[in-house]
Chain A
Amino acid sequence: MLKVKGLTKIFGGLRAVDNASLEVAAGQIVSLIGPNGAGKTTLFASIAGFHKINEGQVELLGKNIVGLEVHEIARLGMVRTFQITQPFAKLSVLENIAVGAYQQFASRDQAHAHARLIAEKVGMAGMLDQPASELTVAGRKRLELARALATGPKLLLLDEVMAGLNPQEIIEIIALIRSIRDSGVTILLIEHVMHAVMSLSEYIYVLSYGKIIAEGKPEEVVNNREVIEAYLGRGAADQMTGQAPGVEHA
């Protein structure tokens, strides 16, 4: 589905993303994790065409998409959400989702019907007429997801859709993301909520200082020395890998 090879993005003197490669197969849920400031969102934005990349290749469904405009990439089926939610504030929830749905349907009736369907799916059916500006954090996160989903994407890039949610809301959104995948949408997500990452992902990439420092299945990644070091520092890494097997998570 998505193949990224040697992607490098430089801001001034900073290599925000340094020679990062990753691959997402169709039907998978893949996570990108890493400490704050590791460059995850920059990598996302670069893949989705928001930044001009300095080096590297990005292939979507076998097609080179480097240099394409953001909307062209979105129309090919890869749609991103924003970590800092960007709702169409003055529009209602329904109108927000309909903007996405209009990518699939030209008529207002069809687009609105599809938007209602999506709203129901993400649990927003009760707030269709509410202005997006009046939503709670959880509501906004759902709305980001709903809008992107309404475009009928093949691959969703979800940027921290769980940040700021309470445990109950996280449980709900995990189930939602699973059901989206089960409906045939491939998912690449950035997330800090570790138990969500562990239970959702089939494959994990770990980014630190712009570099992919580890990758693998969830259980491989949590026991990786470099990953623990990146998150907790060298001392902790020594300790934990020394006494290793009993330690559950980083």
Chain B
Amino acid sequence: MIFNRLPWTLHLLLLVVAIIFPFTSDSAFVINFGVLALFYAFIGQSWNIAGGFAGQLSFGHVAFFGVGAYASTIVQMRFGFNPWWGLPVSALAGAAAGWFISVLSFRAGLKGSYFALITLAFAEVFRIISNSIEITGGGLGMLIPMKQTAANFQFGDRRAFYFIILALTVISIAIALWLKASRFGARLAAIRENEDSARALGINVFSEKIKIMAISGAIAGVGGCFFSQYFLYIDPTIVFGVDKSVEMLLVSMIGGAGTVYGPLIGAVLLALVSEVTRSMFSLQGLSLVLYGTLLVIIIAFLPNGLVELFKKKERKEAGRLTSAAPKKGEA
């Protein structure tokens, strides 16, 4: 994958661009665009480290997102904690949900598409539960009262939200980079490629898969916390809806699943498509139609995602190198 071999200066350059971006305009539209793009990059990365890096494809990643959203909102609204506590609480709750779902599924030996389906089922179960119990506010959802102070995790200037989600995205990318370069990440890649071989080489497949699902769940959970503080309202269909699961996996797959920057690339594209169509056409949901079309085109021509555009160039160069190598060997 090209990006983890990028020199650190390029990572830095990207970061600088991201920091400058919100100051290029005072328009709420532009800043909101940046927040959404980074938000999708962040929750997309959550899906990516489980689905792309470890091959544990989930159709119900929104389960962790929703658990995080409800956990943070409940400790704030029902137990009176400062909303900043929502960040660690949602991380823990998301991790616990990831642990719980994956222990049950992997104990039962569910793999591949069966695992994808069981996660979808869990997300639906969580949606129905949150719809029917009291502490979540049931179908009415929960409204977080507006009170714009930094101590209250609310900001008059949307740029503050931008920098919070930027920091979270940087952390998620750092996790992805660490996975690319660590023993844990190498083991996950082995599990993704061939579980039997991984076991034969002494890898505890069960526990490694649970660990990555917990980490992935924690990231999605924090995404849920950010979402509730940004929009100040959650209800079961919003935070446990299938569409969010789909968006999480789409941004990774369009950008390039299993790559460090895939989710970011896909997320920027998703945000672009949805904002542009929303401003040009009044038809609701048209952005998803367009996005679906894009997905079909990308799967047809770049099955490994947009990142492939960069890699193709690289492979050509690598090809030149390896074709030169045997001659050296013969001499």
Contacts and interface: CB of A to CB of B under 8 A. Distances in A.
B181 interface: yes
Interface residues of A, number: 33
A129 B318 contact: yes
B197 to A, nearest CB: 4
A241 interface: no
A191 to B, nearest CB: 19
A107 B201 CA distance: 17
Contact of B199 (A70, A95, A102, A151): A70
B7 interface: no
A106 B186 CA distance: 11
Interface in A69-111: 69-71, 74-75, 79-82, 86-91, 95, 98-100, 102-103, 106-108, 111
Interface in A36-91: 48, 50, 69-71, 74-75, 79-82, 86-91
A90 B200 contact: no
Contact of B186 (A48, A90, A99, A151): A99
A126 interface: yes
A98 B183 CA distance: 9
B243 interface: no
Q: From DSSP, what is the main secondary structure of chain A's interface residues?
A: loop
A88 B198 CA distance: 9
A141 B201 CA distance: 15
Contacts of A118: none
B196 A86 contact: yes
Chain B binding surface SS class: helix
Contact of A95 (B186, B198, B329): B186
A111 B183 contact: yes
B197 A126 contact: no
15 contacts: A71-B199, A71-B201, A79-B200, A81-B200, A82-B200, A86-B194, A86-B200, A87-B194, A87-B197, A99-B189, A102-B183, A103-B201, A108-B186, A126-B329, A147-B201
Interface of B: 181-183, 186-187, 189-190, 193-194, 196-205, 318, 322, 325-326, 329
Given A111-B186, A148-B201, 18 more contacts: A69-B199, A71-B204, A71-B205, A79-B202, A82-B196, A86-B194, A87-B193, A88-B193, A89-B193, A89-B194, A95-B189, A99-B190, A100-B201, A106-B183, A108-B181, A111-B183, A126-B326, A148-B200
Interface of A: 48, 50, 69-71, 74-75, 79-82, 86-91, 95, 98-100, 102-103, 106-108, 111, 126, 129-130, 147-148, 151
